[in-house]
Amino acid sequence: MEQIRAVVHGVVQGVGFRYHTRHTAQQLGVKGFVRNQPDGTVEIVAVGTSDQLNSLLDWANQGPVSAQVTKVEVDPHTGSAHFDDFTIER
């Protein structure tokens, strides 16, 4: 399993981005979380296979219809966290 951290930029808060990210991640079988950041971005920490994570990132680059994604920064995440599901953190 791989683990990544992605930061999504653009109009991504107040448009259902976290809800849709959780739904997409759960459909793909990805574990982790999504949360809003104070600077207006959305952070995604996800664990899954390379194919699962690539599919999630493909989706994140578009987001839900009401979002306007301008950039997605992706880094490997080296945390040792264990996730049972994909959740929205506040």
Average pLDDT, 10 consecutive residues per value, the chain (90 residues): 96 98 98 98 96 98 97 86 91
User: So what's the pLDDT on residue 77?
Assistant: 79
18 is catalytic: yes
- Domains annotated for the chain, with CATH where assigned, are 2-88 (3.30.70.100)
HSE toward the beta carbon, residue 7, CA cutoff 13 A: 9
90 is catalytic: no
Strands (E), 1-90: 2-11, 31-36, 42-48, 68-76, 86-88
User: So what's the pLDDT on residue 90?
Assistant: 86
| Angle, in degrees to the nearest 10, between helices 50-60 and 17-28 | 160
User: So what's the pLDDT on residue 80?
Assistant: 67
User: So what's the pLDDT on residue 41?
Assistant: 98
- Beta strand pairing call for 86-88 and 31-36: parallel
Three-class SS of residue 18?
helix
User: So what's the pLDDT on residue 82?
Assistant: 83
Query: Assign residue 32 a region: left if phi > 0, alpha if psi is -120 to 50, beta otherwise?
Result: left
Copy the structure tokens of residue 87.
């959740």
**pTM for the full model?**
0.95
Catalytic residue among 5, 35, 36, 54, which? 36
